[in-house]
Amino acid sequence: MDVPSQQGRTALVTGANGGIGYETALALARAGARVTLAARDQRRIEEAAARIEAAVPGAEVDVLRVNLALLASVEEAAGTVLADDRPLDLLVNNAGVMAIPRRRETKDGNEVTFATNHLGHFALTGRLLPALLRAGAPRVVTVSSVAARGRTATLDDPQSEDGYRPMQAYARSKLANLLFTQELARRAAGTPLVAAAAHPGTSATGLQRNGSFVARTLAPLVLTRLVGHAPDLAAQSLVYAATAPGVEPGAFVGPTGAREARGEPGPVPLPSTATDPAAGRELWALSERLTGVTYALG
């Protein structure tokens, strides 16, 4: 995929120590962006940064430790970014967890999947707004999933308090990513900020590590070769949403092949459950209450 030059632009990618997050960061670095790799494992992000520097001589790569499941960690990481006093042109909210076997809560009292996949990114985006709004054409790309189209993707019980099923919790969090994007796009109207969402299609990206031994063993073959595509191709939807000219606020980008499992990246339809402004406002209010973060967009 031809990526427009990102010279002079800065980007931050969460979950960039492996999988599609790493491939997205690598593509942005190749296009000339200064890229911050954000993840919770310091050793792994440093190793990922070294791989990018080896692959792209002269690349500007930084690392940032953040655990998106912990609001204090998000606040600390955002403070580190803001202390540099540089514009942030691009934020890719990619990090995520899937199929946690049993319901667990974070130290903040939130269910882990919802906390990591949605609340952490809601808080991080809100805290980084000053840096984003200093950029000339900032974008926030939040990574969802085809799971957001499933019948279990509802937000009637966002924290899975009335019964926990691993994939249902994941689907809910991915719907939350879309509702967040749509509501952010509405609230950012009149500013240069573009909020978009993307999904990578089907790929073995590391999210399957919480599955059974059989699932973990078969994932690279089934998800990458038979049904979907490799992580570097899966990352193209994220890179497209982040860099392609003309991406509209609220856009949803994904593979355009059969069942959106793989194929060239491009606009794909939103699930109907993600287009309800009332649901977006309700999720936003809940997210503000649970994170203590409000957005200064006025």
**Is there a contact between 224 and 165 (Cβ–Cβ < 8 Å)?**
no
Active-site choice (22, 164, 170, 295): 170
Here the tokens at position 106 are 């974070």
**Residues 34-54, mean pLDDT to the nearest whole number:** 98
Contacts of 180 (CB under 8 A, 6+ apart): 118, 121, 122, 142, 280, 283, 284, 287
- Spatial distance between the Cα atoms of 237 and 233, rounded to a whole number of angstroms: 8
**Is there a contact between 112 and 70 (Cβ–Cβ < 8 Å)?**
no
DSSP labels, 215-263: HHHHHIIIIIIIIS--HHHHTHHHHHHHH-TTPPTT-EEEE-SGGGSSS
- Which of 41-55, 95-109, 255-269 is the least confident region? 255-269
How far CA 140 is from CA of 71, 191, 243, 277, in Å, comes to 19, 13, 11, 19
- Which of 37-46, 179-188, 212-221, 252-261 is the least confident region? 212-221
**Residues 281-290, mean pLDDT to the nearest whole number:** 98
**Residues 258-283, mean pLDDT to the nearest whole number:** 94
The confidence score (pLDDT) of residue 206 equals 54
**Is there a contact between 74 and 120 (Cβ–Cβ < 8 Å)?**
yes
The confidence score (pLDDT) of residue 204 equals 64
The winner for highest mean pLDDT among 143-157, 215-229, 274-288 is 274-288
- Spatial distance between the Cα atoms of 207 and 204, rounded to a whole number of angstroms: 7
Statement: residue 293 has pLDDT above 60:
yes
The mean of the pLDDT values for the chain is: 92
pTM for the whole thing? 0.92
DSSP state of 118: I
To the query of whether residue 22 is one of the catalytic residues in this protein, the response is no
What superfamily in CATH does domain 10-290 come from? NAD(P)-binding Rossmann-like Domain (3.40.50.720)
pLDDT tens digits, residue range 50-63? 999 999 999 999 99
pLDDT band of residue 270 (cuts 50, 70, 90) is very high
Domain ranges of the chain: 10-290
Residue 141: name the closest of 88, 68, 194 by CA.
Answer: 194
Count of residues making up the chain: 298
Q: What percent of the chain has pLDDT over 70?
A: 91
**Residues 257-282, mean pLDDT to the nearest whole number:** 93
The confidence score (pLDDT) of residue 285 equals 98
pLDDT tens digits, residue range 122-145? 999 999 999 999 999 999 999 999
Residue 109: name the closest of 70, 158, 166 by CA.
Answer: 70
The confidence score (pLDDT) of residue 298 equals 67
pLDDT tens digits, residue range 225-251? 445 678 889 999 999 999 999 999 999
Statement: residue 116 has pLDDT above 90:
yes
